[in-house]
């Protein structure tokens, strides 16, 4: 007698970088279990970042891939008390899932690799899955899925120029002034959890690139240009890319992926810019400490990347 396998559902939330990690995990579950959908329902009232970007930026999400309200109701834990129960589970049992609905699975440690993902089949999967081990086996297919849409002519021209130079993408995430109370709380949460790299990290990374490369040209991508101009003197071989804003912000990631080398911040956005860089001889420099919380975070940085 055949046992009917249940469908898994992968939650999608956060900015573009996080969405890409979650989509990659969705693709893994599809290959491992064959039955999986995406939950994008949280974007109905989502005011941060630029909303759901997977479909608009990569055209990689179709209607048949999305879980409906009834499917979510069966598996997803009640939102009102979920955070409280998650916190209590971590506090008393070191397990965020202890008090959570059994069909709802919360990733225990962000970026730590889960060996047996097949055991998660049929559950609602709530996490960030920030570990390239989940999708190393199908890198080429994932790069095909992440096919850029709507690129500006000036960015396409700049990408060609980057390929002719020892170009280095330098991503500096500093968090500019919030524009609303919701964004203020979000920024506060980021500052508690995630580490903003110091100017010494960037200066050391730039100095290392200058020692390893001949005539490097630095392309600067940042959310706080004032801080960059005040704290970093990159000399004449630096170009600040400041024209991709709002819904065009994703084109900065495209340009980062077109540089020959990368210096990234503690950001999934620049992580993907470096990971999608197809240069086989690329040098990627990343911060050794990714988060402020006391948990292992080395899983997020690929072995071949340099950490300082």
Give the residue extent of every domain in the chain: 8-139, 152-307
Cα 80 to Cα 82: distance, rounded to the nearest angstrom:
6
Strands 306-307 and 284-286: parallel
Q: Quote the pLDDT of residue 58.
A: 97
Query: Does pLDDT of 294 surpass 70?
Result: no
Rounded Cα–Cα distance for residues 48 and 20 (Å): 16
How many residues appear in the chain?
308
Q: What is the pLDDT of residue 107?
A: 94
CATH classification of 152-307 is 3.40.50, yes or no? yes
Find, among 40, 34, 37, the residue nearest to 9 by Cα: 37
Dist. CA 50–CA 16, nearest whole Å: 8
| Distances from the Cα of 121 to the Cα of 20, 26, 38, 144, 295, angstroms | 20, 11, 14, 25, 26
Q: What is the pLDDT of residue 5?
A: 60
* CA gap 58, 180 in Å, rounded: 29
To the question of pTM greater than 0.85 for the whole model, the response is: yes
pLDDT tens sequence across 12-69:
999 999 999 999 999 999 999 999 999 999 988 776 778 899 999 999 998 789 999 9
How many Cα atoms are found within 13 Å in the side-chain-facing hemisphere of 276? Answer: 27
Q: What pLDDT is recorded for position 174? A: 66
Q: What is the pLDDT of residue 181?
A: 59
């Amino acid at each position: 007698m055949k046992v009917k396998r249940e469908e898994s559902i992968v939650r999608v939330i956060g900015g573009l970088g996080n969405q890409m990690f979650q989509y990659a995990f969705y693709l893994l579950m599809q290959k491992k279990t064959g039955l999986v959908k995406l939950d994008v329902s949280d974007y109905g009232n989502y005011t941060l970042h630029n909303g759901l970007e997977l479909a608009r930026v990569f055209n990689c999400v179709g209607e048949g891939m999305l879980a409906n309200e009834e499917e979510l109701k069966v598996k997803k834990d009640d939102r009102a008390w979920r955070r409280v129960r998650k916190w209590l589970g971590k506090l008393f049992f070191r397990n965020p899932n202890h008090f959570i609905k059994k069909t709802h699975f919360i990733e225990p440690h962000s970026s730590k690799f889960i060996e047996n993902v097949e055991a998660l089949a049929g559950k609602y999967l709530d996490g960030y899955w920030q570990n390239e081990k989940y999708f190393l086996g199908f890198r080429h297919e994932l790069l095909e899925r992440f096919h850029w849409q709507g690129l500006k002519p000036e960015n396409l021209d700049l990408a060609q120029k980057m390929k002719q130079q020892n170009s280095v993408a330098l991503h500096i995430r500093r968090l500019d002034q919030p524009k609303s109370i919701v964004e203020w709380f979000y920024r506060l949460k980021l500052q508690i959890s995630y580490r903003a790299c110091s100017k010494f990290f960037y200066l050391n990374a730039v100095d290392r690139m200058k020692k390893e490369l001949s005539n490097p040209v630095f392309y600067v991508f940042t959310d706080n240009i004032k801080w960059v101009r005040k704290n970093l003197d990159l000399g004449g071989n630096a170009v600040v890319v400041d024209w991709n804003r709002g819904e065009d912000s994703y084109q900065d990631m495209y340009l980062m992926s077109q540089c020959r080398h990368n210096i990234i911040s503690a950001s999934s956005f620049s992580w993907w810019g470096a990971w999608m860089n197809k240069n086989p001889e690329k040098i990627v420099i990343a911060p050794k400490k990714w988060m402020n919380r006391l948990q292992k975070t080395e899983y997020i940085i690929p072995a071949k990347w340099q950490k300082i």
